[in-house]
Amino acid sequence: MSWIISLPCTRDEAEALAGDIPELDALADAPVVVTREIDEASGRWQLDAYLDAKPGPALLKLLQALVPSAKGEKPHVEQLAEQDWVTLSQQGLEPVQAGRFFVHTSSYADRVPAGSTPFLIDASQAFGTGGHDTTAGCLAMLDRLARAGASPRNIADIGTGTGLLAFAGLALWPRAKIIASDIDPASIFVTQGNAAINGVALGRGGGRLTLAVAPGTDHPAIRHRAPYDLVIANILAGPLITLAPDIASATAPGGHAILAGLIARQMEPVLAAYRAQGFRLAARGGSTEWPCLLLVKRRRHGWRRKERAFHRASPSDASFGSW
């Protein structure tokens, strides 16, 4: 038997819950939380939490605390007989077409458009099913970079989440070496499963994906492979700014960086941090509210492996998980 807890919420609250939720992650049997838009005209959103056991008062109180706008609302608790919470949670996940890529759940496996590059990414503990504007923006930017003639041979995906952006990189540049990292071991476990589902080879060398659990760029394998022709970081504005020196050190002169996870009002502070490290803005994509930035590292800033140590993320840093 499964259970669902539903509460109304605002769009801002829904977007704030799109990343890690430390209050829930600390629970032994954490529910799977999905937010969805109920009515575009009125701006109504809803939080749905799926779990295997009947929820207690403490969990209901915790969920209500995550959506302050629902203060005074009684959570709707319902028992779901003989149903799979994964299937239920995916009912609101529409497929995403971004550039040549078509990202879908199992529910849409028979509806792949001809000529597209499909990826099957089901709901999981990691973020990055393609449905959020930041992930879709990164996919479109990767496609745009490839159509412009770029051919990176060495790529790093920092904060990989489900592995989707790394998979897209290998689809575009099959001979490239790609390393994907995340601070959350669960994300790397999810990426391994998604790689098997989507026929992505794991391992070292060209055409294979290497995985690493790491805060930011702090991992021997990431340092050893640098400098990179392309660094992808779809995380959050705070970590993007904190990691600017490290990403600059890891990017080859003339190399590209794709940054996302920031909202529009955070774009200038993020750009300022990367301009200070020798990057220039080459293109802006994504949506109006969730921009995706394509940066190029100026050639006068060379690779500086011996001159500085990589930043080691402190416990106070925001999550490095992917959107």
Q: Is position 159 annotated in a ligand binding site?
A: yes
Nearest CA to 53 out of 79, 71, 86, 87 is that of: 79
Report the distance separating Cα 225 and Cα 136, nearest Å: 27
Report the distance separating Cα 306 and Cα 238, nearest Å: 26
- Starting from the edge strand earliest in sequence, which strands make up the sheet with 177-182, in order? 209-213, 177-182, 154-158, 228-234, 251-260, 291-297, 279-286
Report the distance separating Cα 146 and Cα 173, nearest Å: 8
User: Please, which residues have CB within 8 angstroms of residue 110's CB and are 6 or more apart in sequence?
Assistant: none
Q: Is position 182 annotated in a ligand binding site?
A: yes
Q: Is position 154 annotated in a ligand binding site?
A: no
Q: Both tokens of residue 127?
A: 């973020």
Contact criterion met (CB below 8 Å) for 129 and 105? yes
Q: Which residue positions form the known binding site for S-adenosyl-L-methionine?
A: 135, 159, 182, 234
Q: Which residue positions form the known binding site?
A: 135, 159, 182, 234
